[in-house]
Amino acid sequence: MRRSVFIAILTVMAAMGLGGVVAEHKSFMASAREKPASAAEVKIDNFVFGPAAITVSVGTTVTWTNHDDIPHTVASTAKVFKSKVLDTDEKFSYTFTKAGEYPYFCSIHPKMTGKVVVQ
Amino acid sequence: MNPFDIKAALLAKHAQHVVLIHFPIGLFIAGVVFDFLAQSTKRLALAEAAYYNLLGAAISAVPVVATGLLAWQFQLDGQKLKGILLMHLVLGCTSMILIWIAWGLHVRSRRRPQENLPVFRLGLETLAVAIVGLTGHLGGFLSGINGPS
């Protein structure tokens, strides 16, 4: 009798422990999912995208900021994204949801080019 | 890039406007200089030179404005402009109108030999040169001529 009670208590404790581990795991996974996507910045200065090439992971939001006195745009060569004309200190953001290479340029100054590599 | 690749040159984004703009600017300024010289020296050859330079400026201004408007519509999706881009657009269109008025005054005078060219045209041409210069300055600023090579 005492032995069976002991086994029952042990079983309940094991179940509670397992439940705790599962709950902790679920909580960890949920927090991992809720973790905000990473962000990256590209500066537009002196007619140059800096850095010219940037490598980010899927889900990353890249923000371009125009620090020039001249208006610029950020236009994907493959027409994936295109900003409006960015005056001084204006920003444009785009979230990359698919892996691949995204070359882009400035519509006003086509020799200004850059590339985002999404892995 | 091959500099003689016609296809590449024609498809170069926004490049045609920047290339063509030199023609009306040069021809118009030369035309105005010849007109001032013709006015002061009364030499017919200078007046003729002024007329043909203004004619060239008036004709070459059309594709310049057209390519500028096309660049606005296609490269910038025709979005509402502001700042330097808006000033460049307004001054560019004003320049073309003034160039055509200046040339028109010369055409009118040639069709009516009994009438002299109005003297006020010299003021109009001077104003037009100033506006063309300002438009070109803003265009150069926009094109990044002061940026890194």
What number is the average pLDDT over the span A49-59?
95
Residue B147 has pLDDT above 80, yes or no: no
Residue A97 has pLDDT above 90, yes or no: yes
Residue of B36, B54, B29 whose CA lies nearest to B119: B36
What is the band of B75 on the pLDDT scale with cuts at 50, 70, 90?
A: confident
- Pairing mode, if any, of strands A100-105 and A113-118? antiparallel
Rounded to whole angstroms, the maximal C-alpha distance in chain A is 87
Q: Report which of residues B131 and B115 the model is more confident about.
A: B131
Contact A71 B142 (CB under 8 A): yes
Q: What is the nearest CA distance from A107 to chain B, expressed in angstroms?
A: 6
Assess A48–B contact: CB distance below 8 Å, yes or no.
yes
Stretch among A10-19, A110-119, B116-125 having the lowest mean pLDDT: A10-19
- Best of A49, A73, A111 to mutate (most B CBs within 10 Å, chain B): A111
Residue with tokens 């007619």: A47
Assess B73–A contact: CB distance below 8 Å, yes or no.
no
Contact B144 A47 (CB under 8 A): yes
Which residues 20-59 of B have a C-beta within 8 angstroms of A?
A: none
Residue A66 has pLDDT above 80, yes or no: yes
Residue of B76, B82, B60, B84 whose CA lies nearest to B137: B84
Q: Report which of residues B125 and B8 the model is more confident about.
A: B125
Q: Report which of residues A104 and A33 the model is more confident about.
A: A104
Contact A70 B144 (CB under 8 A): yes
Residue A27 has pLDDT above 50, yes or no: no
Residue A28 has pLDDT above 50, yes or no: no
Q: What is the pLDDT of residue B61?
A: 97
Q: What is the pLDDT of residue B30?
A: 98
Residue B44 burial (CB count, 10 A):
9
Q: How far apart are CA A47 and CA A41, in angstroms?
A: 16
Q: What is the pLDDT of residue A35?
A: 43
Token digits of residue B123 = 């003021």
Contact A105 B13 (CB under 8 A): yes
Nearest to B14 among A82, A85, A110 (CB): A110
Q: Report which of residues B92 and A35 the model is more confident about.
A: B92
Contact B84 A70 (CB under 8 A): yes
- Region of A31 please: left (phi>0), alpha (psi -120 to 50) or beta: alpha
Q: What is the nearest CA distance from B101 to chain A, expressed in angstroms?
A: 30
What number is the average pLDDT over the span B95-114?
94
Shortest CA distance from A105: residue in chain B? B13
Q: What is the pLDDT of residue B16?
A: 85
Shortest CA distance from A77: residue in chain B? B13
Q: How far apart are CA A18 and CA A24, in angstroms?
A: 10
Token digits of residue B116 = 């002299």
Q: What is the pLDDT of residue A59?
A: 95
pLDDT digits (tens, 9 = 90+) for B12-71: 665 789 999 999 999 999 999 999 999 999 999 999 999 999 999 999 999 999 999 998
Residue B1 has pLDDT above 90, yes or no: no
What number is the average pLDDT over the span B7-13?
65
